[in-house]
């Protein structure tokens, strides 16, 4: 506990952040496995598994099932480890927000020291496993992803700029690039296209939630776009990002990475994103505004999940080769 | 009988959680060992058993 706090105070001092709220974090001890699994952010992990699998299957080289499984396990555990490090660092602000107050560390069920050790050990083994199973490029990219999320986003950007989730979104967009590299040993335009789709998807997705939870973020001192630039600017940026995202989502069809089924889903799904982002832009007052924002938030998850699942299905089940789909 | 110094002061729930956590760590290590074994076999490939000419 003491070493974790010292480490955090030191790092926060280096990046010029206020350390006074750290004293509020409680001690935790003897948590069960379930508490540790919750530190890995399982819902985020499931999306990481899907996007990494999409990247892996879109690579031109086929991958041995055992190597593919080991790589996927390493990538998902690496993502979970980054989540644990994020929760360790953010415990002080998590306890100020209703959405995160019950997480394992702020509620005192896991101590910060344990969470830090857990995140670091899992990060090490995840990168090591990927290096052994796949290649050094994929392992290096995974290590960079964990570093980018835990250090660049969590420790630096999140509390210092309203562009936090825009730049930090790169960490969430990297898993398909890691998966692609694990299968092919390279980074290509195709894998960067998957990166770009998730990168452009992140701002409308998170800002839709931030519009509704802006008071929470304000209380915790997190400079999200609605708190710093205001809801109007946020609504405009959500719409602009969505207008770029929708055609970008169709791009894999043009490069041959996605088949006909993917193209149809990307066109219809992208149109849905634009319609919902348009509603968020137009409806600005009362509960209807919150409802529109939450609809976009929920739909954006389905949209990305659908695009990645279709890439997995088309490549994994051979739909493109068999029926031209 | 003297109290075990390692478990002294822990409640039944805490001891149960500790046991569950130890089982989970054991299973994770066993899984990792099996995974590395499988990776090694796949990397060696079918030529590994052939004699060197």
| pLDDT for B6 | 74
Per-position b or e across A15-28, b if 16+ CB within 10 A of its CB? eebeeebeeebeeb
DSSP string, A176-239: HHHHHHHHHSS--HHHHHHHHHHHHHHHHHHHHHHHHSHHHHHHHT---HHHHT-HHHHHHHHH
User: By the 8 A CB rule, do A123 and A84 touch?
Assistant: no
Please state, in angstroms and rounded to a whole number, the distance separating the CA atoms of residues A216 and A96. Answer: 7
Retrieve residue A278's tokens: 């348009």
Q: Which residue of B has its CA nearest to A65?
A: B42
User: By the 8 A CB rule, do A198 and A173 touch?
Assistant: yes
Retrieve residue A122's tokens: 């899992």
Q: Which residue of A has its CA nearest to B44?
A: A133
What's the pLDDT tens digit per position in A135-176? 999 999 999 999 999 999 999 999 999 999 999 999 999 999
Nearest CA distance, A22 vs chain B (angstrom): 26
| pLDDT for A2 | 47
Nearest CA distance, B47 vs chain A (angstrom): 16
Query: Which of A30, A33, A67 is facing B42, going by the closest CB pair?
Result: A67
For the cut 90, the answer to whether the pLDDT of residue A76 exceeds it is yes
pTM of the model: 0.87
Between chain A and chain B, the number of residue pairs with CB atoms below 8 A apart is: 38
Please state, in angstroms and rounded to a whole number, the distance separating the CA atoms of residues A180 and A54. Answer: 8
% of chain A residues with pLDDT over 90: 82
Q: Which of A115, A76, A79 is nearest to A94 (CA)?
A: A115
| pLDDT for A314 | 93
User: By the 8 A CB rule, do A300 and A197 touch?
Assistant: no
Q: Do B14 and A30 touch (CB under 8 A)?
A: yes
Best of A29, A31, A33 to substitute, by most chain B Cβ atoms within 10 angstroms, is: A33
Mean pLDDT value across residues A232-244:
97
For the cut 70, the answer to whether the pLDDT of residue B2 exceeds it is no
Mean pLDDT value across residues A250-267:
95
- Class of residue B28 by CB neighbours under 10 A (exposed 0-12, middle 13-18, buried 19+): middle
pLDDT tier for residue A230 given thresholds of 50, 70 and 90: very high
For the cut 80, the answer to whether the pLDDT of residue A213 exceeds it is yes
Q: Do A31 and B24 touch (CB under 8 A)?
A: no
Chain B CB contacts of A64 under 8 Å are 42
Q: Do B17 and A73 touch (CB under 8 A)?
A: no
User: By the 8 A CB rule, do A84 and A40 touch?
Assistant: yes
| pLDDT for A32 | 87
Retrieve residue A294's tokens: 């939450």
Q: Do B17 and A66 touch (CB under 8 A)?
A: no
């Amino acid at each position: 506990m003491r070493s974790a706090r010292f480490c955090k105070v030191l790092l926060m001092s280096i990046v010029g952040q206020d350390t006074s709220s750290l004293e509020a974090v409680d001690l935790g001890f003897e948590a069960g496995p379930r508490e540790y699994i919750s530190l890995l952010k399982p819902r985020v992990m499931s999306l990481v598994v899907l996007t990494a699998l999409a990247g892996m299957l879109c690579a031109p080289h086929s991958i041995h099932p055992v190597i593919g499984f080991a790589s996927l396990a390493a990538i998902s555990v690496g993502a979970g480890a980054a989540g644990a490090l994020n929760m360790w660092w953010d415990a002080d602000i998590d306890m100020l927000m209703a959405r995160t107050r019950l997480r394992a560390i702020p509620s005192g069920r896991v101590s910060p020291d344990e969470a830090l050790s857990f995140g670091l050990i899992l990060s090490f083994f995840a990168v090591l496993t990927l290096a052994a199973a796949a290649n050094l490029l994929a392992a290096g990219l995974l290590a960079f992803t964990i570093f980018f999320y835990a250090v660049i986003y969590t420790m630096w950007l999140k509390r210092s700029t309203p562009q936090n989730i825009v730049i930090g979104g790169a960490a969430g967009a990297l898993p398909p690039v890691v998966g692609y590299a694990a299968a092919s040993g390279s980074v290509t335009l195709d894998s960067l296209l998957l990166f770009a789709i998730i990168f452009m998807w992140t701002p409308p997705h998170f800002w839709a939630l931030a519009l509704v939870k802006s008071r929470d973020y304000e209380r915790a001192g997190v400079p999200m776009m609605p708190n710093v630039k205001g809801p109007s600017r946020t609504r405009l940026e959500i719409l602009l990002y969505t207008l770029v995202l929708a055609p970008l989502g169709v791009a894999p069809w043009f490069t041959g990475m996605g088949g006909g089924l993917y193209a149809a889903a990307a066109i219809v799904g992208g149109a849905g994103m634009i319609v919902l982002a348009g509603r968020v832009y137009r409806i600005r007052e009362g509960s209807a505004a919150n409802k529109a924002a939450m609809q976009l938030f929920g739909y954006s998850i389905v949209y990305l999940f659908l695009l990645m699942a279709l890439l997995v299905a088309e490549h994994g089940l051979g739909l493109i080769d068999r029926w031209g789909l | 009988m003297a109290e075990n110094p390692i478990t002294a002061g822990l409640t039944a729930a805490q001891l149960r959680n500790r046991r569950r956590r130890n089982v989970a760590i054991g299973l994770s290590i066993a899984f990792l060992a099996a995974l590395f074994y499988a990776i090694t076999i796949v990397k060696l490939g079918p030529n590994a058993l052939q004699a060197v000419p």
